[in-house]
Structure 1
Amino acid sequence: MDAALQRTLNRVEARQMLGPDSQVDDKALAFAPNDPALTDPFLIMAEDWFSSPGFECHPHRGLETVTLVVDGVLEHGDNLGNAGALEPGEVQWMTAGKGIVHRELAYRNEHAHTFQLWLNLPRAKKMTASRYQDLTRGTMRQVAAPGVLLDVHAGTVDGVTGGADTHHPVQGVLAQLDPLASYDLAVPGEHRLFAHVVSGRVLVGGRELEAGQTGWSEPVPGAESTTLHLAAPDGDERSRVLVYSGTPLREPVAFGGPFVMNSRAEIQQAFQDFQRGDFGPVPRQARLAYDR
Protein backbone atom coordinates (compact mmCIF):
# COMPACT_ATOMS: atom_id res chain seq x y z
CA MET A 1 0.00 0.00 0.00
CA ASP A 2 1.12 3.56 -0.68
CA ALA A 3 3.31 4.77 2.19
CA ALA A 4 1.20 7.95 2.37
CA LEU A 5 -1.68 5.81 3.59
CA GLN A 6 0.29 4.23 6.42
CA ARG A 7 -1.11 5.27 9.80
CA THR A 8 1.11 7.08 12.29
CA LEU A 9 0.37 8.04 15.88
CA ASN A 10 -0.64 11.61 16.64
CA ARG A 11 -0.28 11.26 20.40
CA VAL A 12 0.56 8.71 23.08
CA GLU A 13 -0.70 8.64 26.65
CA ALA A 14 0.07 6.44 29.65
CA ARG A 15 -2.61 4.89 31.79
CA GLN A 16 -3.47 6.68 35.00
CA MET A 17 -3.38 4.43 38.07
CA LEU A 18 -6.14 5.32 40.53
CA GLY A 19 -5.68 2.62 43.16
CA PRO A 20 -8.33 0.70 45.11
CA ASP A 21 -11.79 2.01 45.94
CA SER A 22 -15.03 0.71 47.44
CA GLN A 23 -15.69 -1.48 44.37
CA VAL A 24 -12.30 -2.66 43.12
CA ASP A 25 -8.92 -3.87 44.35
CA ASP A 26 -7.18 -1.61 41.84
CA LYS A 27 -8.19 0.65 38.98
CA ALA A 28 -6.59 2.48 36.06
CA LEU A 29 -7.81 4.70 33.26
CA ALA A 30 -6.30 3.85 29.88
CA PHE A 31 -7.84 7.13 28.77
CA ALA A 32 -10.21 9.54 30.49
CA PRO A 33 -13.13 11.62 29.18
CA ASN A 34 -11.23 14.89 29.52
CA ASP A 35 -12.07 16.06 25.98
CA PRO A 36 -14.56 13.81 24.16
CA ALA A 37 -13.77 15.53 20.85
CA LEU A 38 -10.26 14.03 20.97
CA THR A 39 -11.46 10.45 21.45
CA ASP A 40 -14.83 10.52 19.61
CA PRO A 41 -16.61 8.08 19.21
CA PHE A 42 -14.86 6.52 22.23
CA LEU A 43 -15.50 8.01 25.66
CA ILE A 44 -13.39 6.28 28.29
CA MET A 45 -11.56 3.01 28.87
CA ALA A 46 -11.02 1.68 32.38
CA GLU A 47 -8.91 -1.23 33.57
CA ASP A 48 -10.19 -2.92 36.72
CA TRP A 49 -8.94 -5.62 39.07
CA PHE A 50 -11.65 -6.76 41.48
CA SER A 51 -12.82 -9.55 43.74
CA SER A 52 -15.58 -8.25 46.03
CA PRO A 53 -17.86 -6.40 45.82
CA GLY A 54 -17.28 -5.51 42.15
CA PHE A 55 -19.94 -3.54 40.32
CA GLU A 56 -23.34 -4.27 41.79
CA CYS A 57 -26.55 -3.26 40.03
CA HIS A 58 -26.33 0.12 38.30
CA PRO A 59 -28.01 1.76 35.29
CA HIS A 60 -26.77 3.01 31.91
CA ARG A 61 -28.31 4.96 29.04
CA GLY A 62 -27.08 6.39 25.73
CA LEU A 63 -23.91 4.34 25.24
CA GLU A 64 -22.45 0.88 24.69
CA THR A 65 -19.97 -0.83 27.00
CA VAL A 66 -17.40 -3.23 25.57
CA THR A 67 -15.80 -5.38 28.29
CA LEU A 68 -12.77 -7.59 27.63
CA VAL A 69 -11.85 -10.18 30.25
CA VAL A 70 -8.07 -10.37 30.71
CA ASP A 71 -7.94 -12.76 33.65
CA GLY A 72 -10.32 -14.50 36.01
CA VAL A 73 -14.04 -14.96 35.31
CA LEU A 74 -16.53 -12.10 34.97
CA GLU A 75 -20.10 -12.76 36.10
CA HIS A 76 -22.80 -10.54 34.69
CA GLY A 77 -26.54 -10.16 34.81
CA ASP A 78 -29.16 -7.60 33.84
CA ASN A 79 -32.84 -6.74 34.16
CA LEU A 80 -33.54 -8.11 30.67
CA GLY A 81 -32.94 -11.58 32.06
CA ASN A 82 -29.43 -12.09 30.68
CA ALA A 83 -26.95 -13.82 32.98
CA GLY A 84 -23.68 -15.59 32.36
CA ALA A 85 -19.94 -15.64 32.86
CA LEU A 86 -17.03 -14.75 30.62
CA GLU A 87 -13.54 -16.21 30.63
CA PRO A 88 -10.20 -14.65 29.60
CA GLY A 89 -10.24 -13.39 26.02
CA GLU A 90 -14.03 -13.17 25.87
CA VAL A 91 -15.96 -9.97 25.32
CA GLN A 92 -19.30 -8.59 26.49
CA TRP A 93 -20.83 -5.97 24.18
CA MET A 94 -23.69 -4.29 25.99
CA THR A 95 -25.95 -1.74 24.34
CA ALA A 96 -27.47 0.36 27.11
CA GLY A 97 -29.61 2.34 24.65
CA LYS A 98 -32.79 3.62 26.26
CA GLY A 99 -31.92 2.14 29.63
CA ILE A 100 -30.62 -1.00 31.33
CA VAL A 101 -29.72 -2.07 34.86
CA HIS A 102 -26.88 -4.59 35.18
CA ARG A 103 -24.11 -5.86 37.39
CA GLU A 104 -20.55 -7.08 36.81
CA LEU A 105 -18.95 -9.23 39.49
CA ALA A 106 -15.97 -11.53 39.93
CA TYR A 107 -17.29 -15.09 39.83
CA ARG A 108 -17.34 -16.48 43.39
CA ASN A 109 -15.74 -13.16 44.42
CA GLU A 110 -12.42 -14.67 43.39
CA HIS A 111 -10.76 -12.40 40.83
CA ALA A 112 -11.50 -10.59 37.60
CA HIS A 113 -9.25 -8.35 35.52
CA THR A 114 -11.09 -6.46 32.80
CA PHE A 115 -10.95 -3.59 30.36
CA GLN A 116 -14.16 -1.68 29.81
CA LEU A 117 -14.54 0.69 26.87
CA TRP A 118 -17.42 3.14 26.68
CA LEU A 119 -18.53 3.62 23.08
CA ASN A 120 -20.81 6.54 22.35
CA LEU A 121 -24.09 6.05 20.50
CA PRO A 122 -25.18 8.54 17.83
CA ARG A 123 -28.02 10.88 18.73
CA ALA A 124 -30.47 8.89 16.59
CA LYS A 125 -29.61 5.66 18.46
CA LYS A 126 -29.42 6.95 22.04
CA MET A 127 -32.83 5.46 22.86
CA THR A 128 -32.46 2.23 20.89
CA ALA A 129 -33.48 -1.05 22.48
CA SER A 130 -31.10 -2.40 25.12
CA ARG A 131 -29.30 -5.69 24.50
CA TYR A 132 -26.35 -7.95 25.38
CA GLN A 133 -23.97 -9.67 23.01
CA ASP A 134 -21.37 -12.13 24.33
CA LEU A 135 -18.35 -12.99 22.17
CA THR A 136 -17.14 -16.29 23.64
CA ARG A 137 -14.04 -18.29 22.76
CA GLY A 138 -16.16 -20.82 20.93
CA THR A 139 -17.67 -18.19 18.66
CA MET A 140 -14.80 -15.71 18.40
CA ARG A 141 -13.89 -14.94 14.76
CA GLN A 142 -10.15 -14.93 14.19
CA VAL A 143 -7.48 -14.01 11.65
CA ALA A 144 -4.23 -15.96 11.73
CA ALA A 145 -0.90 -14.98 10.14
CA PRO A 146 2.67 -16.12 10.86
CA GLY A 147 3.27 -15.39 14.54
CA VAL A 148 0.05 -13.37 14.76
CA LEU A 149 -3.48 -14.13 15.95
CA LEU A 150 -6.28 -11.55 15.81
CA ASP A 151 -9.55 -11.88 17.71
CA VAL A 152 -11.96 -9.85 15.59
CA HIS A 153 -14.61 -8.29 17.84
CA ALA A 154 -16.27 -5.94 15.34
CA GLY A 155 -15.88 -4.84 11.74
CA THR A 156 -14.26 -6.87 8.96
CA VAL A 157 -10.55 -7.69 8.88
CA ASP A 158 -9.03 -9.76 6.06
CA GLY A 159 -12.50 -10.94 5.09
CA VAL A 160 -13.38 -12.01 8.65
CA THR A 161 -16.29 -10.15 10.28
CA GLY A 162 -16.47 -9.87 14.05
CA GLY A 163 -19.46 -11.17 15.97
CA ALA A 164 -20.61 -7.83 17.40
CA ASP A 165 -23.55 -6.21 15.66
CA THR A 166 -22.79 -2.49 16.00
CA HIS A 167 -24.96 0.63 15.78
CA HIS A 168 -22.16 2.73 14.27
CA PRO A 169 -19.11 1.96 12.07
CA VAL A 170 -16.59 0.42 14.48
CA GLN A 171 -13.72 -2.01 14.03
CA GLY A 172 -12.15 -3.77 16.99
CA VAL A 173 -9.47 -6.44 17.37
CA LEU A 174 -7.24 -7.92 20.04
CA ALA A 175 -3.93 -8.76 18.35
CA GLN A 176 -1.43 -11.22 19.79
CA LEU A 177 2.06 -11.08 18.29
CA ASP A 178 5.01 -13.40 18.86
CA PRO A 179 8.44 -11.75 19.14
CA LEU A 180 9.54 -10.34 15.74
CA ALA A 181 6.11 -10.97 14.20
CA SER A 182 4.29 -8.18 12.35
CA TYR A 183 0.93 -7.46 10.76
CA ASP A 184 -0.56 -4.69 8.59
CA LEU A 185 -4.07 -3.96 9.86
CA ALA A 186 -6.41 -2.35 7.32
CA VAL A 187 -8.43 0.49 8.88
CA PRO A 188 -11.07 2.67 7.17
CA GLY A 189 -9.60 6.10 6.47
CA GLU A 190 -12.51 7.90 8.13
CA HIS A 191 -11.91 6.15 11.48
CA ARG A 192 -10.21 7.59 14.52
CA LEU A 193 -8.07 4.80 15.99
CA PHE A 194 -6.55 3.89 19.32
CA ALA A 195 -4.11 1.09 20.13
CA HIS A 196 -3.68 0.08 23.77
CA VAL A 197 -0.89 -2.31 24.70
CA VAL A 198 -2.30 -4.91 27.10
CA SER A 199 1.00 -6.75 27.62
CA GLY A 200 4.55 -6.70 26.27
CA ARG A 201 5.80 -4.10 23.80
CA VAL A 202 4.48 -3.32 20.33
CA LEU A 203 5.64 -1.08 17.51
CA VAL A 204 2.48 0.75 16.46
CA GLY A 205 2.79 2.83 13.32
CA GLY A 206 6.56 2.86 13.82
CA ARG A 207 6.45 3.97 17.46
CA GLU A 208 7.19 1.58 20.30
CA LEU A 209 4.58 1.38 23.04
CA GLU A 210 4.75 -0.60 26.25
CA ALA A 211 2.04 -2.15 28.39
CA GLY A 212 -0.32 0.54 29.71
CA GLN A 213 0.27 3.01 26.88
CA THR A 214 -2.34 4.09 24.33
CA GLY A 215 -1.51 5.55 20.92
CA TRP A 216 -4.03 7.56 18.89
CA SER A 217 -4.27 8.04 15.13
CA GLU A 218 -6.58 10.64 13.58
CA PRO A 219 -8.85 10.08 10.56
CA VAL A 220 -7.21 10.42 7.15
CA PRO A 221 -9.51 12.63 5.04
CA GLY A 222 -10.08 11.36 1.52
CA ALA A 223 -8.56 7.93 2.14
CA GLU A 224 -10.93 5.00 1.73
CA SER A 225 -8.55 2.61 3.48
CA THR A 226 -5.36 2.97 5.51
CA THR A 227 -2.92 0.55 7.12
CA LEU A 228 -1.64 0.39 10.68
CA HIS A 229 1.63 -1.52 10.95
CA LEU A 230 1.95 -3.61 14.11
CA ALA A 231 5.22 -5.32 15.03
CA ALA A 232 6.60 -6.98 18.14
CA PRO A 233 10.27 -6.44 18.98
CA ASP A 234 12.60 -9.28 19.91
CA GLY A 235 12.05 -10.74 23.35
CA ASP A 236 10.73 -13.67 25.35
CA GLU A 237 7.02 -12.90 25.60
CA ARG A 238 4.04 -12.62 23.34
CA SER A 239 2.64 -9.09 23.10
CA ARG A 240 -1.03 -8.13 23.05
CA VAL A 241 -2.53 -4.92 21.75
CA LEU A 242 -6.17 -3.84 21.62
CA VAL A 243 -6.88 -1.82 18.46
CA TYR A 244 -10.27 -0.12 18.06
CA SER A 245 -11.35 2.43 15.49
CA GLY A 246 -14.57 4.20 14.60
CA THR A 247 -16.07 7.07 12.67
CA PRO A 248 -16.30 10.22 14.84
CA LEU A 249 -19.89 11.28 15.62
CA ARG A 250 -19.08 14.98 15.98
CA GLU A 251 -22.08 15.52 18.26
CA PRO A 252 -22.39 17.23 21.66
CA VAL A 253 -21.54 15.00 24.62
CA ALA A 254 -23.12 15.35 28.07
CA PHE A 255 -21.93 13.10 30.91
CA GLY A 256 -24.02 12.31 33.96
CA GLY A 257 -22.59 9.44 35.99
CA PRO A 258 -23.60 6.25 34.14
CA PHE A 259 -25.50 8.17 31.44
CA VAL A 260 -24.14 9.76 28.26
CA MET A 261 -26.48 11.95 26.25
CA ASN A 262 -26.30 15.07 24.07
CA SER A 263 -27.56 17.66 26.59
CA ARG A 264 -27.88 18.31 30.32
CA ALA A 265 -31.65 18.21 29.99
CA GLU A 266 -31.43 14.67 28.60
CA ILE A 267 -29.17 13.67 31.51
CA GLN A 268 -31.70 15.02 34.00
CA GLN A 269 -34.45 13.12 32.17
CA ALA A 270 -32.41 9.91 32.38
CA PHE A 271 -32.11 10.24 36.17
CA GLN A 272 -35.83 10.95 36.46
CA ASP A 273 -36.72 7.97 34.26
CA PHE A 274 -34.49 5.63 36.25
CA GLN A 275 -35.82 6.83 39.61
CA ARG A 276 -39.38 6.43 38.30
CA GLY A 277 -38.67 2.82 37.36
CA ASP A 278 -38.79 3.28 33.59
CA PHE A 279 -35.56 1.25 33.20
CA GLY A 280 -37.36 -1.75 34.66
CA PRO A 281 -36.87 -3.54 37.98
CA VAL A 282 -33.47 -3.92 39.60
CA PRO A 283 -32.44 -7.57 39.04
CA ARG A 284 -32.61 -9.78 42.11
CA GLN A 285 -31.23 -13.00 40.66
CA ALA A 286 -28.98 -15.19 42.80
CA ARG A 287 -25.28 -15.54 42.13
CA LEU A 288 -24.40 -17.89 39.29
CA ALA A 289 -23.75 -21.57 39.79
CA TYR A 290 -21.26 -21.61 36.95
CA ASP A 291 -19.08 -24.42 35.69
CA ARG A 292 -18.46 -24.23 31.95
Structure 2
Amino acid sequence: MSAPTAAAGRKVNRIDTKTRFGPNDQVDDRAVLIAPNRPALTDPFLLLSEDWFSSPGFEWHPHRGLETVTTVLDGVLEHGDNAGNVGALAAGDVQWMTAGRGIIHRELAYRNEHAHTLQLWVNLPRSKRMTDTRYQDLLAASRPQIEQPGSRFDIISGTVGGVSGPALNNWPITGMIATVEPGRQADVVLPGEDRAFAYVLSGVTKIAGRTVRAGQIAWSDPVKGTATSTLPLQAADGDTPAVVMIYSGRPIGESIVMGGPFVMNTNQEIQDAFRDFHSGKFGQIPRQARLKYR
Protein backbone atom coordinates (compact mmCIF):
# COMPACT_ATOMS: atom_id res chain seq x y z
CA MET A 1 0.00 0.00 0.00
CA SER A 2 1.45 3.33 -1.00
CA ALA A 3 2.27 5.83 1.73
CA PRO A 4 1.49 9.55 1.70
CA THR A 5 4.49 11.62 0.68
CA ALA A 6 4.60 13.24 4.15
CA ALA A 7 4.90 9.89 5.95
CA ALA A 8 8.23 9.29 7.68
CA GLY A 9 10.27 6.18 7.00
CA ARG A 10 10.62 3.69 9.82
CA LYS A 11 13.74 1.79 10.81
CA VAL A 12 14.24 -1.57 12.48
CA ASN A 13 15.69 -1.03 15.95
CA ARG A 14 16.35 -4.68 16.82
CA ILE A 15 15.75 -8.22 15.63
CA ASP A 16 15.08 -11.20 17.88
CA THR A 17 14.98 -14.91 17.04
CA LYS A 18 12.38 -17.13 18.64
CA THR A 19 13.49 -19.33 21.52
CA ARG A 20 12.33 -22.96 21.43
CA PHE A 21 11.47 -24.62 24.73
CA GLY A 22 10.27 -28.03 23.57
CA PRO A 23 7.39 -30.06 25.03
CA ASN A 24 5.85 -29.74 28.48
CA ASP A 25 2.77 -31.14 30.20
CA GLN A 26 0.46 -28.98 28.05
CA VAL A 27 2.07 -28.76 24.61
CA ASP A 28 4.03 -30.82 22.10
CA ASP A 29 6.38 -27.89 21.49
CA ARG A 30 6.60 -24.23 22.44
CA ALA A 31 8.53 -21.15 21.37
CA VAL A 32 8.56 -17.55 22.58
CA LEU A 33 8.98 -14.52 20.30
CA ILE A 34 8.19 -11.78 22.80
CA ALA A 35 9.34 -12.59 26.32
CA PRO A 36 7.60 -10.82 29.23
CA ASN A 37 10.86 -9.80 30.90
CA ARG A 38 11.35 -6.36 29.29
CA PRO A 39 7.90 -4.80 28.91
CA ALA A 40 9.22 -1.25 28.51
CA LEU A 41 10.91 -2.32 25.24
CA THR A 42 7.82 -4.05 23.84
CA ASP A 43 4.99 -1.88 25.28
CA PRO A 44 2.06 -2.26 24.59
CA PHE A 45 2.83 -5.90 23.71
CA LEU A 46 3.71 -8.25 26.56
CA LEU A 47 4.14 -11.74 25.17
CA LEU A 48 4.07 -13.62 21.87
CA SER A 49 4.18 -17.40 22.17
CA GLU A 50 3.98 -20.09 19.50
CA ASP A 51 2.46 -23.39 20.54
CA TRP A 52 1.99 -26.81 18.94
CA PHE A 53 -0.41 -29.02 20.90
CA SER A 54 -2.67 -32.04 20.67
CA SER A 55 -3.60 -33.18 24.18
CA PRO A 56 -4.18 -31.87 26.79
CA GLY A 57 -3.64 -28.28 25.56
CA PHE A 58 -4.71 -25.40 27.78
CA GLU A 59 -7.57 -26.46 30.04
CA TRP A 60 -9.64 -24.00 32.09
CA HIS A 61 -7.52 -21.11 33.37
CA PRO A 62 -8.12 -17.46 34.33
CA HIS A 63 -6.91 -14.09 33.00
CA ARG A 64 -7.32 -10.50 34.16
CA GLY A 65 -6.09 -7.09 33.00
CA LEU A 66 -5.09 -7.83 29.39
CA GLU A 67 -6.25 -8.94 25.96
CA THR A 68 -5.11 -12.13 24.21
CA VAL A 69 -5.00 -12.37 20.42
CA THR A 70 -4.75 -15.98 19.22
CA THR A 71 -3.99 -16.73 15.55
CA VAL A 72 -4.46 -20.28 14.29
CA LEU A 73 -1.62 -21.21 11.93
CA ASP A 74 -2.55 -24.86 11.38
CA GLY A 75 -5.05 -27.41 12.64
CA VAL A 76 -8.27 -26.52 14.47
CA LEU A 77 -8.50 -24.71 17.82
CA GLU A 78 -11.44 -25.48 20.11
CA HIS A 79 -12.14 -22.69 22.58
CA GLY A 80 -14.66 -21.69 25.20
CA ASP A 81 -15.16 -19.42 28.21
CA ASN A 82 -17.28 -19.19 31.34
CA ALA A 83 -19.63 -16.67 29.69
CA GLY A 84 -20.88 -19.41 27.39
CA ASN A 85 -18.84 -18.59 24.29
CA VAL A 86 -17.63 -21.68 22.45
CA GLY A 87 -16.39 -22.55 18.98
CA ALA A 88 -13.74 -23.97 16.72
CA LEU A 89 -11.31 -21.91 14.65
CA ALA A 90 -9.41 -23.06 11.56
CA ALA A 91 -6.12 -21.94 10.05
CA GLY A 92 -6.08 -18.17 9.49
CA ASP A 93 -8.80 -17.42 12.04
CA VAL A 94 -8.12 -15.07 14.96
CA GLN A 95 -9.66 -15.05 18.44
CA TRP A 96 -9.45 -11.68 20.25
CA MET A 97 -10.31 -12.02 23.92
CA THR A 98 -10.61 -9.16 26.40
CA ALA A 99 -9.96 -10.63 29.84
CA GLY A 100 -10.67 -7.30 31.55
CA ARG A 101 -11.98 -7.77 35.09
CA GLY A 102 -11.67 -11.53 34.86
CA ILE A 103 -12.46 -14.49 32.64
CA ILE A 104 -11.95 -18.26 32.69
CA HIS A 105 -11.35 -19.96 29.35
CA ARG A 106 -9.71 -22.91 27.66
CA GLU A 107 -7.92 -23.58 24.37
CA LEU A 108 -7.70 -27.15 23.08
CA ALA A 109 -6.91 -28.99 19.88
CA TYR A 110 -10.20 -30.03 18.31
CA ARG A 111 -10.65 -33.80 18.71
CA ASN A 112 -7.21 -33.77 20.41
CA GLU A 113 -5.67 -33.86 16.93
CA HIS A 114 -3.45 -30.86 16.29
CA ALA A 115 -3.39 -27.10 16.73
CA HIS A 116 -0.56 -24.68 15.93
CA THR A 117 -1.18 -21.20 17.28
CA LEU A 118 0.38 -17.83 17.99
CA GLN A 119 -0.86 -15.99 21.06
CA LEU A 120 -0.15 -12.30 21.58
CA TRP A 121 -0.75 -10.61 24.93
CA VAL A 122 -1.79 -6.96 24.55
CA ASN A 123 -1.51 -4.68 27.56
CA LEU A 124 -4.35 -2.46 28.76
CA PRO A 125 -4.02 0.93 30.47
CA ARG A 126 -4.96 1.16 34.13
CA SER A 127 -8.26 2.84 33.21
CA LYS A 128 -9.28 -0.21 31.10
CA ARG A 129 -7.87 -3.12 33.12
CA MET A 130 -11.18 -3.95 34.78
CA THR A 131 -13.35 -3.45 31.70
CA ASP A 132 -16.03 -5.96 30.77
CA THR A 133 -14.90 -9.21 29.21
CA ARG A 134 -15.38 -9.78 25.48
CA TYR A 135 -14.84 -12.59 22.98
CA GLN A 136 -14.38 -11.86 19.28
CA ASP A 137 -13.94 -14.54 16.62
CA LEU A 138 -12.34 -12.81 13.60
CA LEU A 139 -12.70 -15.37 10.85
CA ALA A 140 -10.29 -15.27 7.93
CA ALA A 141 -13.08 -15.67 5.38
CA SER A 142 -14.85 -12.50 6.53
CA ARG A 143 -11.89 -10.17 7.15
CA PRO A 144 -11.20 -7.40 4.62
CA GLN A 145 -8.14 -7.55 2.40
CA ILE A 146 -6.16 -5.04 0.39
CA GLU A 147 -4.87 -6.42 -2.91
CA GLN A 148 -2.21 -4.67 -4.95
CA PRO A 149 0.34 -5.86 -7.50
CA GLY A 150 2.69 -8.27 -5.77
CA SER A 151 1.20 -8.03 -2.28
CA ARG A 152 -1.88 -8.69 -0.17
CA PHE A 153 -2.83 -7.38 3.27
CA ASP A 154 -5.30 -9.21 5.51
CA ILE A 155 -6.58 -6.58 7.95
CA ILE A 156 -7.36 -7.77 11.49
CA SER A 157 -7.43 -4.59 13.54
CA GLY A 158 -7.19 -0.85 13.03
CA THR A 159 -7.39 1.01 9.73
CA VAL A 160 -4.88 0.38 6.96
CA GLY A 161 -5.06 2.14 3.60
CA GLY A 162 -8.58 3.30 4.38
CA VAL A 163 -9.73 -0.27 5.18
CA SER A 164 -10.71 -1.14 8.76
CA GLY A 165 -10.34 -4.55 10.36
CA PRO A 166 -13.17 -6.11 12.41
CA ALA A 167 -11.50 -6.16 15.85
CA LEU A 168 -12.97 -3.95 18.56
CA ASN A 169 -10.21 -2.45 20.68
CA ASN A 170 -9.85 -1.12 24.23
CA TRP A 171 -6.48 0.33 23.19
CA PRO A 172 -5.86 1.28 19.53
CA ILE A 173 -4.01 -1.57 17.82
CA THR A 174 -3.22 -2.03 14.13
CA GLY A 175 -2.83 -5.66 13.08
CA MET A 176 -2.49 -7.47 9.76
CA ILE A 177 -0.94 -10.36 7.88
CA ALA A 178 1.08 -9.20 4.86
CA THR A 179 1.96 -11.49 1.95
CA VAL A 180 4.57 -10.15 -0.48
CA GLU A 181 5.46 -12.06 -3.62
CA PRO A 182 9.13 -12.92 -4.32
CA GLY A 183 11.13 -9.92 -5.47
CA ARG A 184 8.30 -7.47 -4.81
CA GLN A 185 8.07 -4.58 -2.36
CA ALA A 186 5.25 -3.05 -0.34
CA ASP A 187 5.08 -0.18 2.12
CA VAL A 188 3.01 -0.59 5.29
CA VAL A 189 1.56 2.67 6.63
CA LEU A 190 1.37 2.82 10.44
CA PRO A 191 0.72 5.57 13.01
CA GLY A 192 4.02 7.28 13.74
CA GLU A 193 3.46 7.17 17.51
CA ASP A 194 3.13 3.37 17.50
CA ARG A 195 5.68 0.74 18.40
CA ALA A 196 5.52 -1.97 15.75
CA PHE A 197 6.74 -5.52 15.36
CA ALA A 198 6.92 -7.72 12.27
CA TYR A 199 7.14 -11.48 12.76
CA VAL A 200 8.16 -13.37 9.63
CA LEU A 201 6.00 -16.49 9.37
CA SER A 202 7.58 -17.76 6.17
CA GLY A 203 10.09 -16.67 3.55
CA VAL A 204 12.81 -14.05 3.80
CA THR A 205 12.21 -10.32 3.63
CA LYS A 206 14.05 -7.06 4.06
CA ILE A 207 12.21 -4.89 6.55
CA ALA A 208 13.37 -1.28 6.40
CA GLY A 209 16.50 -2.59 4.69
CA ARG A 210 17.37 -5.28 7.23
CA THR A 211 17.11 -8.98 6.37
CA VAL A 212 14.63 -10.87 8.55
CA ARG A 213 14.02 -14.60 8.17
CA ALA A 214 11.21 -16.94 9.17
CA GLY A 215 11.20 -17.31 12.94
CA GLN A 216 12.58 -13.82 13.55
CA ILE A 217 10.78 -10.72 14.80
CA ALA A 218 11.80 -7.17 13.90
CA TRP A 219 10.96 -4.22 16.15
CA SER A 220 10.39 -0.63 15.05
CA ASP A 221 10.11 1.95 17.82
CA PRO A 222 7.86 5.04 17.59
CA VAL A 223 8.82 7.77 15.12
CA LYS A 224 8.64 11.10 16.89
CA GLY A 225 7.02 14.13 15.34
CA THR A 226 4.99 12.44 12.61
CA ALA A 227 1.39 11.27 12.38
CA THR A 228 2.07 8.54 9.82
CA SER A 229 5.05 6.39 8.98
CA THR A 230 5.98 3.68 6.50
CA LEU A 231 7.55 0.29 7.11
CA PRO A 232 8.95 -1.04 3.81
CA LEU A 233 8.89 -4.77 3.07
CA GLN A 234 10.99 -6.34 0.30
CA ALA A 235 10.54 -10.07 -0.29
CA ALA A 236 13.61 -12.03 -1.36
CA ASP A 237 13.87 -13.42 -4.87
CA GLY A 238 13.01 -17.08 -5.37
CA ASP A 239 9.85 -19.15 -5.17
CA THR A 240 8.57 -18.40 -1.65
CA PRO A 241 6.44 -15.36 -0.78
CA ALA A 242 7.21 -13.53 2.44
CA VAL A 243 4.35 -13.83 4.94
CA VAL A 244 4.65 -11.37 7.82
CA MET A 245 2.48 -10.73 10.89
CA ILE A 246 2.56 -7.01 11.68
CA TYR A 247 1.11 -5.36 14.79
CA SER A 248 1.53 -1.84 16.13
CA GLY A 249 0.23 0.14 19.08
CA ARG A 250 1.08 3.29 21.01
CA PRO A 251 3.11 2.56 24.15
CA ILE A 252 1.01 2.90 27.31
CA GLY A 253 3.93 3.97 29.48
CA GLU A 254 2.64 2.68 32.82
CA SER A 255 4.45 0.42 35.24
CA ILE A 256 3.07 -3.11 35.24
CA VAL A 257 3.27 -6.23 37.37
CA MET A 258 2.73 -9.67 35.83
CA GLY A 259 1.68 -12.58 37.98
CA GLY A 260 1.03 -15.80 36.07
CA PRO A 261 -2.09 -15.20 33.96
CA PHE A 262 -2.75 -11.73 35.41
CA VAL A 263 -1.38 -8.32 34.39
CA MET A 264 -1.96 -5.38 36.73
CA ASN A 265 -0.20 -2.21 37.90
CA THR A 266 0.76 -3.20 41.46
CA ASN A 267 1.69 -6.29 43.44
CA GLN A 268 -1.39 -5.76 45.61
CA GLU A 269 -3.60 -5.90 42.53
CA ILE A 270 -2.01 -9.21 41.52
CA GLN A 271 -2.74 -10.60 45.00
CA ASP A 272 -6.30 -9.32 44.69
CA ALA A 273 -6.68 -11.08 41.33
CA PHE A 274 -5.62 -14.45 42.76
CA ARG A 275 -7.92 -13.97 45.75
CA ASP A 276 -10.86 -12.99 43.53
CA PHE A 277 -10.33 -15.99 41.27
CA HIS A 278 -10.12 -18.48 44.12
CA SER A 279 -13.14 -16.97 45.86
CA GLY A 280 -15.29 -17.34 42.74
CA LYS A 281 -15.52 -13.68 41.69
CA PHE A 282 -14.45 -14.62 38.14
CA GLY A 283 -17.42 -17.01 38.03
CA GLN A 284 -17.44 -20.76 38.22
CA ILE A 285 -15.18 -23.07 36.23
CA PRO A 286 -17.52 -24.47 33.58
CA ARG A 287 -18.48 -28.12 33.30
CA GLN A 288 -18.74 -27.62 29.58
CA ALA A 289 -18.47 -30.70 27.39
CA ARG A 290 -16.06 -30.91 24.50
CA LEU A 291 -17.35 -30.05 21.05
CA LYS A 292 -18.96 -33.06 19.40
CA TYR A 293 -17.05 -34.76 16.62
CA ARG A 294 -18.38 -34.05 13.15
Q: TM-score range by the shorter chain?
A: over 0.9
- TM-score, scaled to structure 1: 0.97
Partner of 1:215: 218
| Residues in 1 aligned to 2:159 and 2:60: alpha-carbon distance in whole angstroms | 34
Following superposition, the deviation at residue 221 of structure 1 comes to 1.2
1:249 alignment partner in structure 2: 252
Q: 2:268 aligns with which of 265, 269, 284?
A: 265
The ranges of structure 1 where at least 4 consecutive aligned residues each deviate by more than 4 angstroms after the TM superposition are: 1-4
Matched with 1:190 is 193
Q: What residue number does 1:7 align with?
A: 10
Correspondence 1:137 to 2:127:
no
Question: Match of 1:25?
Answer: 28
Q: In the alignment, is residue 92 of structure 1 matched against residue 95 of structure 2?
A: yes
- Matches of 2:47 and 2:182 in 1, distance apart? 30
SS of 1:152's partner is: strand
Distance 1:77 1:17 in 2: 27
**Cα distance in 1 for residues equivalent to 2:161 and 2:260:** 38
Q: Is the 8 A contact 1:98 1:130 kept in 2?
A: yes
> Match for 2:62 among 54, 59, 63?
59
- Count of residues in correspondence between the two structures: 291
Please state if 1:121 is matched with 2:121. no
The one of 203, 217, 222 equivalent to 1:200 is: 203
User: What TM-score do you get using the length of structure 2 for normalisation?
Assistant: 0.97
Q: Which residue of 1 aligns with 2:48?
A: 45
Change (3 A) 1:145 1:51: same
Deviation at 1:161, TM superposition (A): 0.3
Correspondence list, 1:67-86, <5 A: 67-86=70-89
Q: Distance in 1 between matches of 2:41 and 2:5?
A: 27
2:28 and 2:54 in contact (8 A); partners too: yes
1:158 counterpart residue number: 161
| Cα distance in 2 between the residues matched to 1:255 and 1:62 | 10
1:228 is matched with which residue: 215, 228, 231?
231
Where does structure 2 lack aligned partners over 5 or more consecutive residues? none
Corresponding residue number in structure 2 for 1:281: 284
8 Å contact kept, 1:85–1:290: no
- For residue 73 of structure 1, report the CA deviation from its aligned partner: 0.5
* Percent of matched pairs sharing the same residue: 58
Tell me whether 1:173 sits opposite 2:179 in the alignment: no
Q: Which moved more, 1:133-142 or 1:271-280?
A: 133-142
Deviations 1:208-251 (A, max 9, x none): 10011011111011110000001211111122111100000000
Question: How much does 1:139 deviate?
Answer: 1.5
Q: Using the TM superposition, give the Cα deviation of residue 4 of structure 1 relative to its aligned residue in structure 2, in angstroms.
A: 8.0
1:3 deviates by 8.8
Cα distance per residue 1:6-26 (max 9 Å; x no partner): 111001111011110000000
- SS of the residue 2:142 aligns to: coil
Q: Secondary structure at the match of 2:147?
A: strand
The worse-fitting range, judged by mean Cα deviation, of 75-84 and 228-237 is 228-237
Residue 2 of structure 1: CA displacement? 5.4
- Whichever residue aligns with residue 111 of structure 2, its letter is R
RMSD value, Cα = 1.2
Take 1:75 and 1:290, find their aligned partners in 2: how far apart are those partners?
Answer: 11
Instruction: Give the 3-state SS of the residue equivalent to 1:138 in structure 2.
Output: helix
